[in-house]
Structure 1
Amino acid sequence: MKTKILRKISGISNLKRNFSFFDSIKISNALKKEKENITLSDNSQIHLRKNTKDHETFDEVFIDNIYNLPLPIAPKTIIDAGANIGLASLFFKMKYPDSAIALIEIDSGNLEMIRKNLKGYTNITILNKGLYNKHSYFKIFDPFNATNSFVIKESTQDDYDIESITIDQIIDDHSWDTIDILKIDIEGAEKNLFESNYQHWLPKVNVLMIETHDRMVPKCSITVMKALDEYDFGLYTTTNGGTLVYYNSKFLQ
């Protein structure tokens, strides 16, 4: 009993980094009961589905605070690749309200949740695309029967679920000069992203937050690190959730 109480107090304390004390208690109680809709004091809502990974993802973002890092600037431009149900972008938008965010997600069910969780927020672009290093077509697979590990495989124009989008295209479409935060969690597709056609956009990234998936696609990590080494990125930290955070050395000067 004592351990459970201490864990609850610790969870509320971590939630208070992002929410009011009242809302932190309310969220903590709702998570314990696995509620699907949590209405906060400002009437905004957090939506989490039962029997999915949504509650686990919420814990990572708002209790473990895996994206809550000290940055020397307030980010203005953010790409959230592998946005899942939008909780990372919700965190970024709460912490950096003036930021513009492009979310990329391949699953239609997750997209519906993104729209719910980011309702009322502005300067948000939601893209039902697969992030890749060129234009291509993909089939979507769910190898682990989960809601946070969908993968894409190249297909043909005659038989596909979604098309790709490149980071260069996102930059051009938004007329961005830099990407202040590039968050990537795309279940192994990061290997392709950092294999080629990164020379134009990668130097424009200030902070990279990436989870690599060597267990799914061999040599993801080394492919990413090789590309980053070309542009003098340095590893800043590794979060509790396994996300690697790199800073562009020019960004720190």
Structure 2
Amino acid sequence: MNFVRKIANFIRDYRIIGIDAFKLEFYPILGKRKVTVKLNGYRYPISLRCNMADYITYSQVFLKKDYEFDILNTLNPSVIIDCGANIGLTSVYYRNKYPGVHLISIEPEDNNYQMLIENMKYYENVLCLKNGVWNKKCNLNIVDKSVLDNSFVVCEFPGSLGIQAVTIGDIVKDYNLDKIDILKIDIEGSEKRIFSGGYETWLPLVKVLIIELHDRFVPGCAKAVFDALVSYKYKMYIKGESVCLYFEK
């Protein structure tokens, strides 16, 4: 039954990546740990580890197209921040959709970050930061490393060890940003913290917010986000697990 499913997946993926779909579906059976595939319409290949997490992310970005909102076609962005960049597939999507954009991609976990670097090495004007996104300067730690590589939850970690947190306000200040055309946030529950305080300095700079809410991991995420937005006017669109908010200035 598993082989039949892989054949079905191969036929589906073939429409997106051509013959490289064979690698994606069958290399893990041969003991391969990583594959490189070329997406139709993309100039450079992407690298994926042969694990369920990377396949889920690949499917979300390139098959289900969870980040393809029609409203984005009206934009000509110059700054995009990708919070929770994982292995960089969403960053690859944005960098190809908007070739001239300045992109800041942020990922806290070591192995994911190395894959992010690998997938972004072909592109200019991309800054990759190994940090967790939080609402203050502190150190963070991954709560449970046994989960899938696209599901890491972080918490505050006392002392000088751990992952250095960065705030969106820090990024705005450090890189002299006067706007954020697209802010993508997929940070497995940490959105509750960043929308619980400190957002007042950077949220007015955002034109489009694309966010995944994780109340299943951290109760209260959605409430924190929408409480912070109560004084804003926006149009809301939903696709898959992504919520897109287009702010009306």
TM interval, short-chain normalised: 0.7 to 0.9
Deviation at 1:43, TM superposition (A): 8.0
Three-state SS of the structure 2 residue aligned to 1:31 is helix
CA RMSD of aligned residues (A): 2.4
Distance 1:143 1:217, change over 3 A: farther
Q: Per-residue displacement from partner, 1:82-130 (whole Å, max 9, x unpaired)?
A: 1110000001011111111111111000011011111111111111111
Residue 128 of structure 1 corresponds to 130
Residue 38 of structure 1 corresponds to 36
Residue 65 of structure 1 corresponds to 65
Show the 5 A alignment for 1:1-253.
Answer: 11-13=13-15, 15=16, 24-34=17-27, 36-40=34-38, 44-70=44-70, 71=72, 72-142=74-144, 145-158=147-160, 160-235=161-236, 237-240=237-240, 242-250=241-249
Deviation at 1:51, TM superposition (A): 2.7
Distance 1:5 1:201 in 2: 47
Q: Per-residue displacement from partner, 1:47-105 (whole Å, max 9, x unpaired)?
A: 11123410111111011111122221122111111111000000101111111111111
Three-state SS of the structure 2 residue aligned to 1:111 is helix
Deviation at 1:12, TM superposition (A): 4.3
Distance 1:244 1:39 in 2: 28
Deviation at 1:143, TM superposition (A): 5.7
Deviation at 1:229, TM superposition (A): 2.1
Distance 1:154 1:231, change over 3 A: same
Q: Which runs of 5+ in 2 are unaligned?
A: 29-33
Deviation at 1:9, TM superposition (A): 5.5
Distance 1:163 1:3, change over 3 A: closer
Residue 24 of structure 2 contacts residue 35 of structure 2 at CA under 8 Å; is this kept in 1?
no
Distance 1:62 1:78 in 2: 19
Distance 2:37 2:107 in 1: 25
- In the alignment of these two chains, the number of paired residues is 238
Give the residue type in structure 2 aligned to 1:195: S
Deviation at 1:31, TM superposition (A): 2.2
Residue 142 of structure 1 contacts residue 149 of structure 1 at CA under 8 Å; is this kept in 2?
no
Distance 1:5 1:139 in 2: 39
Residue 34 of structure 1 contacts residue 55 of structure 1 at CA under 8 Å; is this kept in 2?
no
Residue 12 of structure 1 contacts residue 25 of structure 1 at CA under 8 Å; is this kept in 2?
yes
Residue 37 of structure 1 contacts residue 45 of structure 1 at CA under 8 Å; is this kept in 2?
no
TM-score (norm 2): 0.87
Deviation at 1:161, TM superposition (A): 1.1
Distance 1:200 1:55, change over 3 A: same
TM-score (norm 1): 0.86
Three-state SS of the structure 1 residue aligned to 2:199 is coil
Distance 1:43 1:244 in 2: 28
Distance 1:136 1:216 in 2: 21
Three-state SS of the structure 2 residue aligned to 1:199 is helix
Q: Identical aligned pairs, as a percentage?
A: 37
Distance 2:104 2:88 in 1: 11
